[in-house]
A and B are shown apart, each in its own frame.
Chain A
Amino acid sequence: MSNWVEVCATDEIDEEDVIRFDHAGRTFAVYRSPDDEFFATDGLCTHEKIHLAEGLVMDDIIECPKHNGRFSYKTGEAKGAPVCVNLKTYPVKIEGGSVFISVA
């Protein structure tokens, strides 16, 4: 069963940017791509558990602020050293001008 939670209004995330979202003791990173789609992943880098929301979004890549580890935020795929473990991703939907993610 999916468990949709509201993150924020769509205009609260800039294009090609990321925000942090905390829910029920968990933390997520929610992205808006340059082509205006929304995505969500686990919030913490798989290298040293640093929050990705302070990282840089470039095209479909989120780069960790700590040591520049790179992931595709669309698929969660780790793109090479120093990160080798993929990020978990979450379904996203837009409804009534708000971003929802499915955290189940």
Chain B
Amino acid sequence: MSHIVIIGAGECGARAAFALRERNFDGQITLVGAEEHLPYERPPLSKEALLNGLEPKLVSDAARYADAGIEVLTGHSVEGIDPAGKTARLSDGQILAYDRLLLTTGARPRPFPGLSGPNHRIRTLRTHSDAVAIRAGLQPGAHLAIIGGGFIGLELAATARKLGAKVTLVEGLPRILSRGVPAELSAVIAARHKAEGVEILCGVTIQELSEGPDHARILTEDGRTIAADMIVVGIGAVPNVELARDAGLVIDNGIAVDAHLRTSDPDIFAAGDCCSFPLPHYGGRRVRLEAWRNAQDQGTLAAANLLGAEETVSAVPWFWSDQYDLTLQIAGIADGATQAVWRHVAEGTFILFHLDIDGRLIAASGIGPGNAVARDIRLAEMMIAARVRPDPVALAAPGTKLKTLLAA
């Protein structure tokens, strides 16, 4: 094999490119990315980057790509793949012939239904340039309205408060973070936002968003109007599957891959936010994750399998979010749990463990200031991977060292 092409220069594509070299691949590697920057980390975009200047935090600097012999074509998008001829066509007409192809095209913000652009006061947050535009509007006293009580919206709310903006967050469901986060944790987060002065409106259906020269407006179904200087829509993300679909690959809530991250074409793999894969430990159910460590892990795994290793996805899903001084961490997936166990760690710090009908640990969600829950969540993740059935009483007891339960 002599040429591996990676489409999508984000966290996952960059990790895969380096992992190929770490595995001693000595052929040609081309990493193609539509954005202008070298691959950078997205998590800071809703957190520190907005507060402390806006230089993108690069996954690696240019010298490391050069040293590793990775050709990075930034500012180039791939417009078509020909799986039969094994070529990819770039926006500038260039044709790249590949032996194997990796798709790490990520995801893009879900657009607000019915909204047509371009809009200046109604935005989404995914890229560095999105963050620059939002930051410019976050002057002290400016009014920011956020649509959607998911992680990105809530992190942005916390950051905007630190910058002195007034913040209103509108959520359609009865509580924030209803997808994947236990109610006990979202209650802590909601209370903290309220204490910091964020106005949270739950159970509000939006009829229309509009913008004028001075304001953007939310019209709610019950007839209220909320005017803001800027609206940021954070209602989830959709996977970038068009390229794969047009090439005839199977799509199923993302580019469908098997446990080796192989698509329906044996020479094309997909990894990261763009793909759906069978999740072990959870009966092989097909999921698509939007998480930073998953992007890294799958990039590394895809690299191994591009080179013929046949390794299987085995990582337990893991996610974190930072809001104010609070960090939330979640390992595993709680759907299907039949028992929840509460572990008090310290004042304002706790972990909720979820067990299935056989008593196996399937998820752990923790929240607290700084990294107060980190070690225990990491150990819980290892317990989930080991399919341990911990004694619920021991789990709940603050004095139990979780390390001792790992062998249970």
Could you list which residues of chain A lie within 8 angstroms of chain B, going by C-beta atoms? 16, 50-51, 54-56, 63, 65-68, 80-82, 84
Contact = CB atoms under 8 A, between A and B. Distances in A.
A59 to B, nearest CB: 13
Question: Which of B15, B320, B370, B375 has its CB near the most chain A CB atoms (within 10 A)?
Answer: B375
A56 B60 CA distance: 25
Contacts, number: 41
B292 A67 contact: yes
14 contacts: A50-B371, A54-B372, A54-B374, A55-B371, A65-B371, A66-B320, A66-B374, A67-B292, A67-B293, A67-B320, A68-B293, A81-B300, A82-B59, A84-B60
B246 to A, nearest CB: 31
B296 interface: yes
Contacts of B378: 56, 63, 65, 68
A65 B15 contact: no
Nearest to B14: A81
Interface in B1-42: 15, 18, 22, 41
Interface of B: 15, 18, 22, 41, 59-60, 64, 292-293, 296, 300, 318, 320, 327, 370-372, 374-375, 378-379, 403
Contacts of A66: 320, 327, 371, 374
Contact of B370 (A54, A55, A81): A54
Nearest to B375: A56
Contacts of A50: 371
Contacts of B327: 66
Contacts of B41: 82
A51 B378 CA distance: 16
Specify the main secondary structure of chain B where it touches its partner.
helix
A16 B371 CA distance: 19
Given A55-B374, A81-B296, 20 more contacts: A50-B371, A54-B370, A54-B371, A54-B372, A54-B374, A56-B378, A56-B379, A65-B375, A65-B378, A66-B320, A66-B327, A66-B371, A67-B292, A80-B22, A81-B15, A81-B18, A81-B300, A82-B59, A84-B60, A84-B64
Contacts of A56: 374-375, 378-379
- 10 shortest interchain CB distances as A-B pairs: A65-B374, A65-B371, A54-B371, A56-B378, A56-B375, A81-B296, A81-B15, A54-B374, A65-B375, A54-B375
A80 to B, nearest CB: 8
A4 B16 CA distance: 44
A67 B64 CA distance: 21
B364 to A, nearest CB: 14
B406 to A, nearest CB: 10
A51 B320 CA distance: 17
A73 B293 CA distance: 22
Contacts of A55: 371, 374-375
Nearest to A54: B371
| Residue from B374, B378, B379, B403 whose CB has the most chain A CB atoms within 10 Å | B374
A6 to B, nearest CB: 26
Contacts of B374: 54-56, 65-66
B95 to A, nearest CB: 31
Contacts of A82: 41, 59, 296
A29 to B, nearest CB: 13
Contacts of A54: 370-372, 374-375
Contacts of A84: 60, 64
